[in-house]
Structure 1
Amino acid sequence: MYSVIPYQAAYALSVSQIFHEAIHAIDDLQYSPAHKAAWSAKPRSSYHWHKRLSRSRAWIVVDTSQIVAGRPKCCGFINLETRFYSLGYIDSLYVHPEHQGNGLARALYEGLELWAKDRGYPELSVDASILSKEVFLSYGFKVKHRSYQEKLGQVIMGFLMSKSL
């Protein structure tokens, strides 16, 4: 049984592992091994992820039927920037490869959208990867333009997308 809950510091290491494993599970035809290594050479520290998620509004999805280290297993996460200069920007949406295809990304996104609407956010935006572009289109986002991020000498293509709320 899955449940979406607010992010907690105890899950920072799980978030790091999910991010890294989700990146490296991408088919090499979508993003090359060099792109994936630049995107996530190795799992980042739990300190990094806790700091990143604590400075935004973040949720995780847990599997309550699997207990790891005394708490439900984390299977995915999403976070939304809440500061003025990036208000409404979805920074991350990742689901562990073993749990993809079970509606977890949608559950995370729907919780985020409801939270944003309740607070009067006029718009959400995201830099979607080639893979997540279709996911965000299914949530009603529109492509504004292609986007490019340089990471460790690799240029990774994506799409800047937005949705009015």
Structure 2
Amino acid sequence: MSANEISLRPAQETDAWVLSAIHIAAIKALPATFYTQKELLAWRNYRDKPDGSNILKSMKVETCKVAIKGDAVIGFASFIVDELIGLYVHPKYQGKGIGRALVQNFCDEATDRGIDKVITTASLYAEGFYLRLGFTTIQKAPHYLSKGIVVPVTKMSKILATTPR
């Protein structure tokens, strides 16, 4: 499968539970190399089963795009204007260009709005991915999870082409 076999569309409220399931699955698939199991558990909000309620709340303030293969949602990206807030692809579909397509869509939408620079906060796992997409490191920073757990992340930015598509 390649990114050409997927389509992107705005998320719908009915997607919230599957987005929660993707979020949980993506984090559960990570090895405890950069973060401890306790930190990874906090990152997925102490959930083993999907709960779309938090995602529904986020969808009210964030733009959320989903990647679809056939009729299945396989990944998503959420953003507010110039900041990519979250990017998750189901582990079964990682490494196939889905994340790249979602980030490119975010950058294209920002360019169309006249924005010339976007930012994101990358987990230590995702830092290399964003570097390969042309993002640069701004600084390492703390990220606050629930129950007082703090993990290191990398603030990153990317300069965009100044002409809209």
Fraction of identical pairs, as percent: 27
Indicate which of 59, 62, 67 corresponds to 1:61: 67
Alignment match of 2:92 (pick from 83, 89, 98): 98
Q: How many residues align structurally?
A: 153
- The aligned residue for residue 14 of structure 1 is 18
User: Residue 117 of structure 1 corresponds to which residue in structure 2?
Assistant: 111
Corresponding residue of 1:69: none
| Aligned residue number for residue 128 of structure 2 | 134
Give 3-state SS (helix, strand or coil) of 1:19's partner.
helix
CA distance in structure 2 between the partners assigned to 1:38 and 1:128 by the alignment: 16
Amino acid in the other structure paired with 1:79: S
Unpaired runs of at least 5, structure 1: 65-71, 83-87
Structure 2: runs of 5+ lacking an equivalent: 161-165
Match of 2:156 in 1: 161
Task: Please identify which structure carries the higher strand content.
Answer: 1
| Shift, 1:125, TM fit | 0.5
2: CA distance between counterparts of 1:21 and 1:97?
Answer: 7
Displacement of 1:30 after TM fit?
2.4
**Larger deviation: 43-52 or 14-23?**
43-52
> Aligned partners of 2:114, 2:91: CA distance in 1, in Å?
33
Q: With the length of structure 2 as denominator, give the TM-score of the two structures.
A: 0.87
Q: Which amino acid aligns with 2:92?
A: E
Structure 1 runs of 4+ aligned residues shifted over 2 Å read none
Counterparts of 1:53 and 1:148, CA distance in 2: 24
Structure 1 residue 150: Cα displacement: 2.5
Distance between the aligned counterparts of 1:155 and 1:55, measured in 2?
24
- Which residue matches 2:163? none
Q: 2:126 aligns to what SS in structure 1?
A: helix
Amino acid at match of 2:89: V
State the Cα distance separating 1:44 from its structure 2 match.
Answer: 5.8
Name the structure 2 match of 1:23: 27
Choose which of 43, 54, 75 in structure 2 pairs with 1:48.
54
Output the amino acid matched with 2:76. Answer: F
Match of 1:85 in 2: none
Q: Is the 8 A contact 2:140 2:152 kept in 1?
A: yes
Deviation at 1:19, TM superposition (A): 0.6
Contact 2:84 2:106 in 1 (8 A): no
Partner SS state of residue 93, structure 1: strand
* Structure 1 residue 149, shift from structure 2 partner: 1.3
- Counterparts of residues 26-41 of structure 1 (less than 5 Å): 26-40=30-44, 41=46
